[in-house]
Amino acid sequence: MKHKFSSLIGFVIVLAILLSACQPTTETIIETVVVEKEGETIIKEVEVPVDKPVLIYNSYMSDPDPRVADAEAVATFQAAHPDYEIIHSTVAHEDFKTAIRAYLTASTPPDVLTWFAGNRARFFIDNDQIMDISDVWESEGWNTSYPKGFKAVSTVDDAQYFLPTSWYWWAVYYRVSIFEELGLETPETWDEFLVVCETLQENGYTPIAIGTKYRWTAAGWFDYLNMRVNGPEFHINLMLGTESYADPRVADVFEYWRVLLDEGYFLEDAAAYSWSEALEPMIAGDAAMYLMGDFIRDDLPDETEADLDFFRFPIIDPAVLIGEDAPTDGFFIPVNSQHPEEAKEFLAYLGSVEYQTFFAEKLGRLPTNFDVDKSLFTETQQKGLALIEGADFVAQFYDRDTTPEMADEGMNAFMAFWDDPDSIDELLVDLEAARLEIFVTE
């Protein structure tokens, strides 16, 4: 069989799908031979005899260091299971995002796939394309060794479908020297946070750095304000389209947000800066705080990073559960897996202390299994672990927790609100109309 492809991306996607289309219950599997002939890429299917149980694992860990670590982890599992025939394919990260829908509609999908928690997984769960792995969670003890926030993000209707394995946290980062200069304590409540902002402003500092040239930074503020005002359950249901943007509780979120805008606590002309460009006032010592993921430290000079610390986004209503943004990657088993028992055995390894310790040591990845020895981590990482351990729910981030179409509408609205805080009512009408169209269509 011969196919011509007009682009390398198309080739990679189809190649990955063909690699996954193996028949475990027969005496042969289908492998793919790639031949370059006269400028054409030719794909040939070749039957190869096997006499072992088969496990097909497709991964998006295509960056150099993760790819090496992923291959080493598979080799470790293979050594412990010499009776398995493991077919391990790595697909470029962005191509994988396109290919996954084809994987999950194939009659013989891969047995284990890398993916993202949140709506990215929920979409396939709701379409009955991801397998219930509650039995693995129970048998491996993850119900107790994983913080409740990570269990919650893996759960739909009291069943677990996803295995989270690595993550990073969000928090309010601040310049320690500025706080010490003004005698400021890190705020725990919203009222305390407003006092900190006012004190900073009165002393010539920009309280909050932010760059909104790319809209996702503003979405982080909506996430946290909504979770702190209305709780993470309402927030996630809003992301899933089951709560309404016309609900007065959503308007309340924007009223809290508006206080910060009206008082001028954010960096002036924020839309002129990308998130990293907006770090410059913090580096210069002109701005004091920034709501951001822990990757913020990667873009700071050593001397600034040494003067950086973080605190939990302030509590607004102590009666609501605590939600935190912690974008999380992990694994799942397609519901049509041809080797479910082998896949569950592999998942048990991926969620184990052994595997997550290896990735912590190899790549500095933070584990979801909190039985991993915390002495492996820096003081900052241990503080991040404690922050998430105290959360009731781990959200993923606005554009991961809702659909791409709704995320686009929402982030446009956040930017319009930023430009004109008086437009709240009109924007919420538009968001609700978008929600009804997008989620009814789906």
Question: Is residue 284 packed enough to be buried (19+ CB in 10 Å), middle (13-18) or exposed (0-12)?
Answer: exposed
Indicate if the pLDDT at residue 384 is higher than 80. Answer: yes
Place of tokens 């890398």: 114
Which stretches does DSSP call E strand in 66-216? Answer: 85-90, 112-116, 155-156, 159-160, 163-167, 170-175, 206-208
Residue 171 neighbours by CB distance under 10 Å = 23
Pick from 376, 231, 401, 377: which is nearest to 326 by CA? 401
Other CB atoms within 10 Å distance of the CB of residue 323: 26
Q: Are 289 and 193 within 8 A, CB to CB?
A: no
| Confidence (pLDDT) at 49 | 54
Report pLDDT for 14: 44
HSE, side-chain direction, 13 A CA sphere, residue 224: 22
Quote the mean pLDDT of the chain: 89
Give pLDDT, residue 441. 57
Asked if pLDDT for residue 108 goes beyond 90, the answer is no
Residue in this structure with the two tokens 């606590």, named with its chain if needed: 265
Mean pLDDT, residues 377-388: 93
Residue 212 has pLDDT above 60, yes or no: yes
> Taking 50 as the threshold, does the pLDDT of residue 2 lie above it?
no
pLDDT tens-digit series, residues 87-102? 999 999 888 888 999 9
Q: Which tokens is 176 given?
A: 């320690």
Domain 8-168+329-384: give its CATH architecture. Answer: 3-Layer(aba) Sandwich (3.40)
pLDDT for 23 equals: 42
Q: Which residues contact 24 (CB under 8 A, 6 or more apart)?
A: 53, 54, 338, 339
Residues written for the chain? 442
Distances (CA, A) of 75 to 47, 61, 78, 269, 436: 24, 15, 5, 51, 48
Q: Where are the domains of the chain?
A: 8-168+329-384, 170-325+417-441
Return the pLDDT at 298: 84
pTM, rounded to two decimals: 0.80
DSSP secondary structure of 56-89: EEEE---SHHHHHHHHHHHHHHHHH-TT-EEEEE
Q: What is the pLDDT of residues 279-303, one digit of tens each?
A: 999 999 999 999 999 989 888 999 9
- The yes-or-no verdict on residue 379 having pLDDT over 70 is yes
DSSP letters spanning 387-424: HHHT-SEEE--HHHHS-HHHHHHHHHHHHHHHH-GGGH
Confidence of residue 364 (pLDDT cuts 50, 70, 90): confident
C-alpha–C-alpha distance, residues 158 and 125, integer Å: 13
Tell me the pLDDT band of 18, cut-offs 50, 70 and 90. Answer: very low
| Mean pLDDT calculated for residue range 66-85 | 95
In sequence order, which residues have a C-beta less than 8 Å from that of residue 188 and are 6 or more positions away? 311, 312, 314, 315
How far, in Å, CA of 104 to CA of 84, rounded? 23
**Phi-psi bin for 218: left (phi > 0), alpha (psi -120 to 50), beta?**
alpha
- According to CATH, the superfamily of the domain at 170-325+417-441 is Periplasmic binding protein-like II (3.40.190.10)
